Amino acid sequence: MRNPALLVIAAAALAGAGVYGWDWYTTGRFLEVTDNAYVQSDVVTVAPKIAGYVARVPVDANQRVAAGDVLLVIDDADYRAKAAQAEAAVQAARASVTVVDSQVALTRSLVKEAEARVESARADQARAQDDLKRYKALNASQYASTQKYQAALADARKAAAAVAQATAALAAERGNLDLLAAQRLQAEAEVARAEASLQEARIALDNTVVRAAGAGVVANRAVEVGQYVAPGRQAMSVVPVDDVYVVANFKETQLARMRVGQSVALHVDAYPDQPLHGVIDSVAPGSGAVFSLLPPDNATGNFTKIVQRVPVKIRLAGAAPAETLLVPGLSVEAEVDTRTEGDRALAGGSFFLAPSTALAAVPKTQP
């Protein structure tokens, strides 16, 4: 009686081993599996750019927000006053330019007047020179007295002095024009400085309202109304739960046949009955130990070989079921099917993504 039972057990064991072996040969040997995987997301840290007292916090923790929604409002009384002061400075600077323009117009009129005086003085000088020549000739032939000749000579000298005086006055007025041109440049520079200060004040005023950069869920809210906040201090976080991905830490011995675009089966511990599908998005350019706070230095001390793990980013293919809430930190089991070809268009099917078109469009910095 024992022999038939043993034969049945042995046959069942052999059949099971055969099925397992066939499954491993046809499928299992092509699968790379790890349970060292977690849901992650690009969490956005929200921090104000300016200091001040919190006036309103219109959102609560765990509340969904859309891009552009108001997250935090800082009391703007001081910043409104600074903006008004900067605007007044701009008006004053522009008025200074107007004053200089008026002075330029007046000086141009004075230049024309000085030019007319020069012409008048030169005409008087020409007349005096002609009189001097006539009286000089008449005096030589004794048809005119020496007194008249001397008077004509004095008039000629006075006319020459008048021309020199008028010419100097004209040069002075023209010099005032050059001075006013420099003063106008200075006034224009003051206007530009005041406008820049006004723009800075307006930016600071706008920064009293902190808005969401993208859609997500508010988390880690650390501010309350009346609290003083400093620039750069974390006020809350926004988690884009609709744009999550999985980071699986595979052993280095599992990477040989992995490529970008290969199919991945995902099993989230929180939802064991709802398997998800994903694809390999990219592979980190180094193991986790390389980017740790204290990277290991294997060239010193005793060496113990430890299998390293490399982060692999997996993006979800298609939308997750409506009843599935994927949030960062959930544990996942990832199963990569290395039989799939992957996306050969991405960097020739290598580990890494092809260069971004946006990055390629950025002009190179000239030395």
221-280 tens-digit pLDDT: 999 999 999 999 999 999 998 889 999 999 998 888 888 888 999 999 999 888 899 999
Give a yes or no: residue 235 inside a domain: no
The arithmetic mean of pLDDT across residues 190-200, rounded, is: 94
SS3 state at 341: coil
**8 A C-beta contact, residue 80 and residue 86:** no
Q: What is the DSSP letter of 214?
A: S
Give a yes or no: residue 361 inside a domain: no
Mean pLDDT for all residues in the chain = 83
Range of the domain at 116: 77-206
**8 A C-beta contact, residue 152 and residue 177:** no
pLDDT surpassing 50 at residue 72: yes
Give a yes or no: residue 29 inside a domain: no
**8 A C-beta contact, residue 351 and residue 283:** yes
Backbone angles phi, psi at 363, to 5 degrees: -65, 145
| Contact residues for 264 (Cβ-Cβ < 8 A; gap 6+) | 246, 248, 277, 278, 279, 280, 314, 334, 335, 336, 337
- CATH number reported for the structural domain that contains residue 81 in this entry: 1.10.287.620
Q: Which residues pair with 54 in a beta bridge?
A: 74
C-alpha span between 83 and 326 (Å, rounded): 45
Q: What is the DSSP letter of 262?
A: -
What pLDDT band is residue 362 in, cutting at 50, 70 and 90? low
What pLDDT band is residue 110 in, cutting at 50, 70 and 90? confident
C-alpha span between 269 and 329 (Å, rounded): 11
| Contact residues for 291 (Cβ-Cβ < 8 A; gap 6+) | 284
Cα angle value 331/306/309 (rounded, 5°)? 35
Question: How many CA atoms lie within 13 Å of 315's alpha carbon, on the beta-carbon side?
Answer: 11
313-352 tens-digit pLDDT: 999 987 777 667 888 999 999 999 888 766 543 344 455 6
SS3 state at 150: helix
Give a yes or no: residue 142 inside a domain: yes
C-alpha span between 111 and 109 (Å, rounded): 5
Give a yes or no: residue 107 inside a domain: yes
One-character DSSP codes across 222-275: ---TT-EE-TT---EEEE-GGG-EEEEEEEGGG-TT--TT-EEEEEETT-TT--
| Greater pLDDT, 31 or 357 | 31
Question: How many CA atoms lie within 13 Å of 284's alpha carbon, on the beta-carbon side?
Answer: 19
SS3 state at 327: coil
Give a yes or no: residue 176 inside a domain: yes
C-alpha span between 101 and 105 (Å, rounded): 6
Q: What share of the chain is helix, strand, coil (3-state, %, to 5)?
A: 45, 20, 35
**8 A C-beta contact, residue 90 and residue 195:** yes
C-alpha span between 285 and 255 (Å, rounded): 12
Q: Structure pTM?
A: 0.70
The pLDDT of residue 200 is: 95
**8 A C-beta contact, residue 282 and residue 250:** no
Give a yes or no: residue 224 inside a domain: no
Number of domains composing the chain? 1
Residues in the chain: 367
C-alpha span between 120 and 124 (Å, rounded): 6
The pLDDT of residue 117 is: 80
Angle between helices 77-140 and 146-206 (to 10 degrees): 170
Cα angle value 46/52/56 (rounded, 5°)? 65
The pLDDT of residue 143 is: 64
The pLDDT of residue 296 is: 76
Instruction: Determine which of 98-107, 162-171, 220-229 has the lowest per-residue pLDDT on average.
Output: 162-171
Give a yes or no: residue 341 inside a domain: no
| Greater pLDDT, 152 or 60 | 60
